[in-house]
Structure 1
Amino acid sequence: MKTSNFSELNLIPALLKALTDEGYERPTPIQTQAIPSLLEGRDLLGCAQTGTGKTAAFALPILQRLSATKGKHRILKALIVTPTRELAAQIDESFKTYGRHLHLRSVVIFGGVSQTHQVNDLRRGADILVATPGRLLDLIGQRLISLNALDIFVLDEADRMLDMGFINDVRKIISHLPDKRQSMFFSATMPREARDLSDRLLLNPVKVSVTPQSTPVERINQTVMFVSKENKLKLLESLLRDKAITKALVFTRTKHGANRLTKQLTQSGISCIAIHGNKTQNARTKALEGFKSGKVRILVATDIAARGIDIDSITHVINFDLPNEPESYVHRIGRTARAGNDGIAVSMCSGDERDYLDDIQKLIAAKIPLDRDHPYHCRESEAGLVNGMSAVQYRKEKAQQKALEFQKYKQARSSGARDANAPRPRGGSYSRSSGHK
């Protein structure tokens, strides 16, 4: 079904006016495919990566269906569960934006902050609730939230929810839902656990798949630069001094790496800010607001924290560290080239990351163009070598070295004195399992 404008989707005038206010002219493919079925009350299984317009794909039908509901408003009728605080806040903002001409009220709840303000919001009544799993279950347990009258349930970013260990929380939430409801399940990837969960949640769903997770958005210009680990910072600094980079998202593999890189860039006179799971909610909100408004043009992030970033104007994504899970590469670069814009994704690859690059290229079924035209090109890294060793052998030796350091540390501790040659071992590992600290 090809649709050239939103009016062809049978949306009510109040929603069309809100879309016009925001400058939206044409629906995205997932909106075209999903909205008509959702307006009919069908369950939906959506396989869609970030940046495809899926929030509007479920928010618009929810607002339209609830606005037509007879009876008392301010009784919870729709619940959207999502993995991160940032994503929850942005989905709530979308409901408020699209529903500005309707008499419906949305509330958002998440952990990491006091529940007092959120509870007060709930007591004033809500038609729509956007929540993260932990805080939702806490308030259900305190009998501050009832799902008895719920008509619509949305599980968003399901694959990341499972990655973050929320599977049991999600199952508990599903157990609280009324049997008669409309359900929507969105996931960028469909691992077996996600498929099993969708089978439990959905009844005869419409299936929508837009831009499979292994396929990066076509408008993203991707390049890879081979560089030694020691020269990565210098290469990044040279890239970020380019004034054409107006809003850049830089990825590191760990929280510690994000903090360290932010400090190093700041010391070099490059203004930036970090966002990751160890930051307080206020710090994360402030970082996102500064980045979104343009006060800060460079945001350093980890994979999980970045799942809540929904900003149309990101011009560049830079992988300072390649992800050790190839699917994360697609999620990362999907932060650019949104809302019809073009985007640029630059990946730095040191010798110990060469097999990560191979896995990424296997997943996306394409070779990422190589850029040797920079002063820090490293032939050894291009060959997948570190100090003459393969990437796998290098990580193995580093892991053995850390294990030996830890053994020395334990021996020193057990003897009651810390040996000068047995320093406290630093955290981190070079194995594949270490990517999400």
Structure 2
Amino acid sequence: MSRTVKRAFKFRFYPSDVQAAQLARTFGCVRLVYNKALQARTEAWTLRQERINYNATSALLTGWKKTDELAFLSEVSSVPLQQALRHLQAAFTNFWAKRAKYPTFKSKKRSRRSAEYTASAFRWRDGTLTLAKMTQPLHIVWSRPLPEGCTPSTVTVSCDAAGRWFVSLLCEDVITPTGASGAVGIDVGIDSLLALSTGEKITNPRHERADRQRLACAQRDLARKQKGSANRAKARLAVARIHARIADRRRDHLHKLTTRLVRETQTIVIEDLAVRNMVKNHRLARAISDAAWRQLRTMLEYKAAWHGRDLVVVDRWFPSTRLCSACGALAQPMPLDVREWTCRCGSVHDRDVNAARNILAAGLAATACGDDVRPQRESSRTGQSSAKQEDPRATKGVPVL
């Protein structure tokens, strides 16, 4: 059965000088409105214990436009400014639900420069896109076709640190189901990006390491430039382009890999990893960040939802590496440099493939007993998931080698 999903299609475009100046002003106004609204909401709660919602900040925005200091806010489209207030409201909603930290101010140098336009603020006609307050359509490079007959509901314009302009069109797309069967367990790593329970190991391309020398030279060149000079701005762009090249290659590889896994397999079992805690190990932080395990999981989650696949997440405390997938014996903790080990039953295990097979068994056990596919957020030392309760190999009393 076909599924209709909301999907963003991102394209690069090349604005004229007038359009670039207009969009730069819009980005600045969006950032200013977001920061002022955040300040107003923070002061209201700190001083009066009062919660200000989106409607109140929208009324404040109307008042700001009438002042002499902020009259320039009327020079840009009002829709991106209203969308900034809605994004702030969503940030506070996530904070109150304890899904995120308290919202922070947007920085001119570090924050993403973007503006979101709804259907009332752009014109889509015959494959051309014209934004509000502009007379000419954007010069978009159509690298792939949009779904036939679709009309964008939201348009997001952004500019990255390398000076590249992008437009993202949110459209409804129909996902045609493809036949898939079987289940696969996945163990992520550094030497091998993925080890599958089938025995296949996918090499980690290490995109950051491939460009590390170029990046180091560019960063040294940037460090020599005088702050505030035009040459420093050029050197900063050179560093940003190398970072963009690394990120683009990594994202492209992960997209191809996750698409292949989702199309070929019905049930995918992965391990819940605390990547934020793991990168605190300064010896492995660079390699873990280059592997992008969190980005891999995010892609698997939304692509599995699109194609109707089952994504099972096993508790992070499940001892997948030390369990023998043949007899179920639990070995002693082993250092990372041990890539193969022999069980007392005589089975010789590849560390990563054995972990992937145990992850698959634990995920199928969790599914069989009807537990939620998302593991418990608290430590399994206080409340174990069914993945650990169902599998007899991980229970108390298993002989330790």
TM-score, length-scaled by structure 2: 0.28
TM-score, length-scaled by structure 1: 0.27
Structure number, greater radius of gyration: 2
